[in-house]
Amino acid sequence: MDTYNFWQDFFDTYQSLSDWLKVLWLIVPPAFVLGLVALTLRFRLAGRRMNSGLDGELVYSIRRDAQNRIHILSHMPLGDGNPPLLLADPAGGDKAEHGREQHIA
């Protein structure tokens, strides 16, 4: 086994293939690489287009806790001039400050 050479065996096998299989061996790897590059570029361009559409600011977050309760967090100060769109607790008994966030429900 000391005299075994992988590349010699590989090229010997390649020479013994039919002409159609030799053509496929020459076309498929570059086509695969070009297809992979095209898919990657398409994915990156679509990601940039998707992110460019979100030019606003985060207003609400919705989270679910361990007891399966849903909490709506407002990232804007709640006041008379800026009413929340989704007010789960109209009485306002459960509001808590979390930095800039206010806990609504």
> What are the pLDDT tens digits along the chain (105 aa)?
678 999 999 999 989 999 999 999 999 999 999 999 999 999 999 888 876 666 677 777 888 888 888 888 877 766 666 555 555 554 444 444 444 445 555
C-alpha distances (whole Å) from 15 to each of 8, 21, 46, 55 are 11, 10, 43, 58
Find, among 104, 8, 19, the residue nearest to 60 by Cα.
Answer: 104
Backbone angles phi, psi at 49, to 5 degrees: -65, -40
Give CA–CA dist 39/30, Å, rounded.
Answer: 14
For 82, residues 6+ apart whose C-beta sits below 8 A from its C-beta are: 76
